[in-house]
Structure 1
Amino acid sequence: MKTTHTFARQPILDTEKNIYGYEFYYRNNVGESGFENARAATASLLVALLNQIGLQKASENRPLFINIDSSVLLTDLLLAVPPKLFVFALPADAQLGTREAEVLRKLHHSGYRFALENIDTQQGLTGVYDVLLPFIDFIKIDASATDNDLLPKIVDRFKGKQLVAERVEIDDVFDAYRESGFRYFQGFACGAPVLMEYNRVDPKHMGVVKIYNMLLDGTPMDQIAKEMRNHNELSMQLLQYLHSHSLNNPFPNRSIEEIIVKMGTEQLKHWLSLIIFAKSGQTIQEGKSPLSKLMEQRIDVMHCTISCMQSEDEQLFDSARLMALISLMEPVLGLPLKAALSGLPVDNHIEDALLLHSGRLGKIFGLALALEKDDAASVRLLMDELGLEPEILPTLKNMIKM
């Protein structure tokens, strides 16, 4: 039913060998680490973490370390992520121009955290990193390529920074670095990288570009919100993103449209640019995935039910679509529906309808589920409670393709 992809995750331990955070590594569609475009690889990994698997499941609310190329600083990619949860690692030999250095300064001032890695401890430690150090929080040292005699100099050189020992292969190395003042440790002695699978629901690439261009052209947000009705997969990713990001998006929200308007133009542009950079449209297959088909079917059944009730309440249609999308987050995120709802800014009536099947919306949603399960008794009961004529049952049944 779902399209599964992977990335790799390796734990970073503290001095007591408790998990402090994780480093995440890009993997392509066949599970390989190679990539031609560093920015696209970073974007793909961020889309997977924010829009697909969700940060709670991926990191258990611990820091996420991600390697980036300095060219990423000239994009809006990092502006789409919650700064407090991420640490972006720059290579020590990164050549930062004036623009990159200014962006790094501004991001660090805004709460973004950065690491410096691949430091060549054999080439001396004086002066080389002074330009970057004011904006760096973590220093990552390759334990496999560093003489233990240099550890006191390293600790003194990077005083005030969080020191991470990488490629720690045996316990003796762990102990030596810990005794020298290092706080965090990564390597096979701490835990090998593990592939993590996630379920992917990709939006059409041209649809994402269309909405992004509408934003650039200054299209009013209410028109952009209406355009989102044509993009179920993108709307699903938006809900997952909100769940990961915990944006300040106050209650109540009864539709995707309300969420987008409150999200605002700039944040929406940052998020869409992340998806565009990831080039997710190039990886989707011809036709719709089974999950996309179920998403469309559930929305259509609920909308048809509302039409048969002869309701002219436009909000009811919008709320039904939002419910259908949220209900399918459970198989995608791998979280119980209640847990998925806890991070989403939705109206209490929608939450009760999803969890308790209460109210008119709950019965409409329950009818869609009963039709999918071919539960004839529940279908008859719910149709009666909604005041639906038996003659419409064949129409509703014909919409079920699963």
Structure 2
Amino acid sequence: MNQGTEEIFIGRQPILDRDHQLYAYELLFRNGRVNAADVSDNLAASASVISHAFAELGIERALGPYKGFVNCDETLLLSDMLEILPSEKMVLEILETVEPTPQIIERCRDLKARGFTLALDDFVNFEEKWQPLLDLVEVVKVDIMPLDTAALAAVTKALDRWPLKLLAEKVDSREQADLCHKLGYHLFQGYFFAKPAILTGKKLSQSQLALMQLLGLVMEDADTKNLEAIFKREAGLTMNLMRLTNSVATGVATRVTSLRHAITVLGRRQLQRWLQLLLYTNPASGNVASPLLQMAAARGRLMELLANRMYPGKRDFEDRGFMTGIMSLMPTLMGAPMAEILKGVSVASDVQIALESQEGELGIMLQLIEALESGDGAKCHDLSAQLQGLDHAIINTCLAEAMAWASSIGQEKPED
């Protein structure tokens, strides 16, 4: 096997709407042997991987109710490979390197007629040559990184002539997000919502404190009545537990109808998992599909699946992997340093080391997940080489399964 072209890692980045809710994922296909930025034909090499991902790994199922954005260079755009993809789920991003020739314009018309959504990627400056494509695409991704406020406003105004959805990409701060929101952008991509925003003096809400108490009790294997007593003081948490327990992600055969029933049917291992997920929900709104929840859930499940591949049968290591992944975004949620958060909940020493310094096996696994999220194929290769029993194919399969699991959270099971 030619590892130089075939070791492709699949990554994904969330795309948010104006209400900061999850709208879609961009799927990334990155060569693991060299930096993606240095590979001119990386997308062409990824065509077979895209096919494999949808045909065998079930990424269509992994996307859940969301669409998947995929980069297309000229080779991939003209390839028959695209036609096996589920058109209703896909947004094809036409890269800025693609020249809008008559052949390309005709191909885009054909793909649009087949039901694909088209997007123009990395847009920074309006030129007349883009007009035929702008007449066809539905989304334009504006790269805000090289643009100052005036230039961004000018580009945005130039695009007003078309009924487009504008997507601001590489949004790395709340200030940038607010500016793009003010300019009328519909979609946002970047890490502004997942970056730790350490706010001095911020206190945990009563619900978060109650969840920390509940996690502690579950880890101590406390009586069900003690757990019920805390839940009953927090009606919002109880409703969210019921919603999560009745989602398709639990795999529970029967519909859970009461708090005691949920605690009994789930069992302590599953209950601990759902309590960890509840930390990312809003008790007041009942929202269980926030971007942060999706991201944390996928991280936890992926850590658990990778742990199983590394040490089959070691459920305790799987549990510690899930704990590491799910808690890795807690500083973002709680606006507090990880060291402070860990004072409120008892975790195993290797979990604490992984969360505080990203060291040890769990720490390397966490680094790997972050590299997948950022699309750094070379780093994925280096990190996976440090973890026994893992390669790009296993990691991609586990990622697809983790995404499917995370996407199904909050989707209610049909009534029996």
Greater CA radius of gyration, 1 or 2? Answer: 1
TM superposition score normalised by structure 2: 0.43
TM superposition score normalised by structure 1: 0.44
